[in-house]
């Protein structure tokens, strides 16, 4: 292992006595998709159970909701199904005040040959973006120090550190964490020239964060078991009894939980509850992650599963074989067609705003966008980048009209999943 430093995470944020993450550009530790503080990561995305809901009292509400994403892994190991959500873990809890703010815009751009140092907090794991860091350094002359960790815990840490955070840039695996920081006034407005490179669907309406790559929710299916014509136009139709025993899902998976959050935003709390109860009644096959769902559908265990689009490509790449599977996109505006993004924001009062902005510009460059398309099978968010074979163009995807910043109420989603008895 190369050189690294150990950072202590405030124990009141992660629900455990002590937490650590590694920082540095070299490490022998690896993850599949997104990182965790524990090695039992499933498909690289955060898994959360109801036990993770009971350990959050004592920190700010916005920090609580996202710190829970990392605590869930440890909580899952404790196996305490009788535990109930903590009623104090409420985004409107007493003592939490959200105020309006006026941030200072970042002036201009940064030349590619500018030097200096930059500290990045990255919720995207080192396996995914690590190869881009030396390319960024070579292109800009900036020396980047990256602190890798769970997106939720890093967002919570930024809120806890306040103006004393060493980070100048936050690289999030999802828009919800960026939305939480924006709500607390921790992100600085980005230049319009940068924002205009990305479809308005995939950036902050307030101009304080921008998506760097996108992923779509789909139903992966086995054409040998079911035709696409037999699949529903809406994810809401999976409550029909005819789907009993025929669907796979991963309720503890972070991407599924982001979808449920979107379902709550688009359809309302009652409709989301009814959908969860209806699908549960159909006895879906439950997994911890998306990759296992794809493999089970390929094996003919059931015909269809709810996943992110790239898992079909990723699993085939990992297994070195082509499976007889396809992705089904739901109808226009359906919550089942949610498109979420990984994205970045420059911290308000950052020590190195020019260097941070240089990385934002680099992540939206042709080189970096081609990397996301070719190596992680995600959607690039700028025009002119060739997609992975078989992908529907991003502009043709029928995603629901939603401000991705509104996906910040993970806490409410976890409480609903626990209430219905799914986690």
In 10-165, which ranges are E strands? 19-23, 116-122, 142-148
The crossing angle, in degrees rounded to 10, of helices 353-363 and 366-375 is 50
Instruction: Tell me what the pLDDT averaged over the chain comes to.
Output: 79
Q: Which residue has the higher pLDDT, 320 or 27?
A: 320
pLDDT in tens, 276-332: 999 999 999 999 999 999 999 999 999 999 999 999 999 999 999 999 999 999 998
Whether residue 32 is predicted with pLDDT greater than 90 in this model: the reply is no
Cα 401 versus chain centre, distance: 18
Answer yes or no: is pLDDT of 91 > 70: no
Report the pLDDT value the prediction gives residue 394, as an integer from 0 to 100: 83
E strands in 24-77:
none
pLDDT band at 86 (very low <50, low <70, confident <90, very high): very low
DSSP state of 225: T
Residue 25 reports pLDDT greater than 90: no
Determine which of 126-140, 212-226, 278-292, 378-392 has the lowest per-residue pLDDT on average.
Answer: 378-392
Give the separation between CA 25 and CA 269, rounded to whole angstroms.
43
pLDDT of residue 213: 97
Q: Are 57 and 67 within 8 A, CB to CB?
A: no
The answer on pLDDT for 157 being more than 50 is yes
Domains delineated in the chain: 215-337 (3.40.190.10)
Q: Residue 264 and residue 62: Cα distance in Å, rounded?
A: 18
Identify the pLDDT of residue 114: 55
pLDDT value, residue 11: 32
Distance separating alpha carbons of residues 41 and 268, to the nearest angstrom: 31
Write down the pLDDT at residue 7: 38
Q: How far is CA 282 from CA 236, 249, 262, in A?
A: 13, 12, 22
Residues 6 or more apart in contact with residue 30 via CB below 8 angstroms = 126, 127
DSSP string over 78-96: T--TT----TT--TT-TT-
Tell whether the model's pLDDT for residue 73 goes beyond 60: no
Helices (H) and strands (E) in the chain, counts: 14, 12
- State how far the Cα of 46 lies from the Cα of 33, in Å rounded to an integer: 9
Distance of CA 366 to the CA centre of its chain: 22
Threshold 0.85, pTM exceeds: no
Q: What is the pLDDT of residue 36?
A: 32
Predicted pLDDT of residue 235: 97
Summarize the confidence of residues 33-58 as an average pLDDT. 37
Give the pLDDT mean for 5-27: 35
Closest to 171 measured CA to CA, from 151, 193, 191: 151
């Amino acid at each position: 292992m190369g050189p690294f430093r150990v950072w202590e995470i405030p124990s009141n944020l992660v629900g455990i006595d002590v937490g650590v993450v590694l920082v540095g550009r070299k490490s022998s530790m690896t993850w599949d998709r997104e990182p965790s503080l524990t090695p039992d990561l499933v498909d690289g995305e955060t898994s959360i159970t109801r036990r993770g809901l009971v350990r959050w009292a004592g920190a700010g509400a916005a920090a609580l909701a996202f710190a829970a994403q990392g605590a869930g892994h440890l909580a899952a190991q404790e196996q305490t199904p009788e535990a109930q959500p903590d009623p104090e873990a409420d985004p409107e809890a007493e003592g939490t005040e959200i105020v309006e703010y006026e941030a200072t815009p970042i002036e201009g751009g940064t030349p590619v040959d500018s030097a200096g140092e930059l500290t990045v907090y990255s919720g995207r794991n080192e396996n995914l973006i690590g190869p881009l860091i030396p390319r960024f350094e070579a292109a800009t002359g900036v020396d980047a120090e990256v602190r890798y960790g769970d997106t939720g815990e890093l967002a919570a840490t930024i809120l806890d550190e306040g103006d004393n955070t060493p980070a100048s840039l936050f690289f999030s695996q999802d828009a919800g964490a960026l939305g939480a920081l924006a709500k607390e006034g921790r992100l600085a407005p980005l230049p319009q020239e940068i924002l205009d490179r990305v479809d308005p669907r995939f950036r902050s309406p307030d101009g304080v964060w921008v998506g760097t790559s996108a992923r779509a929710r789909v139903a992966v299916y086995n054409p040998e078991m079911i035709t696409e014509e037999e699949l529903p136009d809406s994810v809401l139709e999976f409550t029909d009894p005819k789907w009993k025993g025929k669907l796979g899902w991963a309720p503890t998976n972070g991407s599924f939980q982001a979808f449920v959050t979107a379902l709550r935003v688009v359809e309302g709390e009652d409709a989301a509850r009814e959908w969860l109860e209806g699908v549960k009644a159909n006895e879906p096959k439950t997994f911890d992650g998306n990759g296992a769902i794809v493999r089970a559908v390929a094996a003919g265990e059931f015909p269809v599963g709810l996943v992110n689009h790239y898992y079909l490509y990723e699993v085939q790449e990992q297994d070195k074989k082509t499976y007889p599977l396809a992705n089904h996109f739901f109808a226009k505006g359906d919550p089942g067609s949610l498109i979420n993004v990984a994205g970045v924001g420059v911290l308000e009062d950052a020590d190195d705003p020019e260097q941070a902005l240089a990385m934002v510009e680099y992540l939206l460059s042709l080189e970096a966008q081609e990397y996301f398309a070719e190596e992680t099978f995600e959607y690039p968010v700028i025009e002119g980048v060739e997609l992975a074979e078989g992908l529907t163009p991003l502009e043709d995807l029928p995603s629901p009209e939603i401000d991705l910043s509104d996906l910040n109420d993970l806490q409410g989603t976890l409480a609903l999943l626990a209430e219905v008895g799914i986690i």
